[in-house]
Structure 1
Amino acid sequence: MNLKLISMAFYATYLTNKFGFLLKNEKNKNKKMLLREEYAKTLLKKLKLNVNVINKEKLPIDGKYLLISNHRSIIDPLIIETALKDTKIRGFWIAKKELYNSFFFGMFTRNAGSILLDREAKNMAPFFKDIKEVVKDENSIYIFPEGTRNKQNTPLSSFKEGARIIALKNRLPILPVYIKTNANEVLKEAINSRTKELTIDIEIGELIDYKDKTSLEENYRKIFDL
């Protein structure tokens, strides 16, 4: 691990926990969402990373959706938050238990607006109940259908079935977004080339009806020509 990487890791940990503390003490939902946006903006600016939204005209201004995205980098949520910043769409992330318990991300994840997914739980009813309450309160749901980061040299790995079930149970139109740039590779370059500004492209796809019986992965691949 080189000095630049160590320095950025310390800064990211400090910033994440700083905003985690601010979020913990903020009770207003709208202000929480603004803090999330500010966190994404601050960290991406430090990394000199710009987000370019392709097909921005396809992005709804408001409403409730199940947002789905591919996932190759730890900064993917920040990229998506930035892409949505000019809309009124606000959502809760589906977060794995490992993130809730993480030293680096735990405080932020628990307080930023997320729903715990415990894959080892025998009863998933509380998970779906939490989602229903969040949607009832006029929020969207954000999820990575691959279930975990794709670390292979492929644009997409297989989708889990849970995302489609969430859309059906809550009658949520599905908003597909695709991070075209390999953000993980760009993140490495950003850390090692602090003076150079880099751009990450994210593409907005056509909405998918929650009643569409085609597999979610098949629809996603077709929309983004994968």
Structure 2
Amino acid sequence: MSIEQTGASAEIRALSVLPARREEIELHTADGLTLVGELALPAEREPVATLVTLHPLPTHGGFMDSHVLRKAAWRLPALADLAVLRFNTRGTASPRGRSEGTFDGGDAERFDVAAAIEFAEFTGLPRPWLVGWSFGTELALMHGADPAVEGAILLSPPLSRATDADLDEWDRFGRPLVALVPELDDFLQPEEARRRFARVHQAEVIGVDGAKHLWVGEASVRRVLDEIVAHVLPGHPPLPTTWAGTIGTASGADEVR
């Protein structure tokens, strides 16, 4: 990563990395596995809330560095004072390393979700929200109704593994549930999503015109990050598109994974 000290404001681009305190972490599951991850915190302040992120399907290239989650970690500690926790679920590898165990289709991953929530709780990270993307939304719906969690934001929920029983559990749980559904999603589009999520009375389904499942492009990423901040921090101003100060530029490898 290259670092540039800017005097005037510079545009925040796809590979911009804003200042934060970043540390490698490990999560320990109840069934004895060690999962690798990263925690990004505001550089000079304590976080006001926490995003516990759940990545897309690892058998189709999803991991903790999937681009929307990575950009959340690059930007939101600086722009919104949020802590961003990313990790590889069991058997998943990234440049950070490989988590122990093997992919279990979303079943044993219940221990991974619990370990991430417990890490946030026991390290004093405030107001944890789950942010799942694709397969990660299934994990949030199936295993995320934990009293320590304030709510969940779902990006491109396919609702292929999560059942009506899981939705009913979220309805009883009563915490906020927000689904960002791309107009052109390959798996679940807004009209059907509204029908399926209707059984969760507190659910909000937001259809995003022109967007696709992978949220490719800076406009899509900014829409996602703006929606996350608006729901986690009601009343927060729109995220700026420029930054004055130190700014890094990351490698473009795996940009849309």
Common fold: TM-score over 0.5: no
Which is richer in strand? 2
Q: TM-score w.r.t. structure 1 length?
A: 0.37
- Which has the larger share of helix? 1
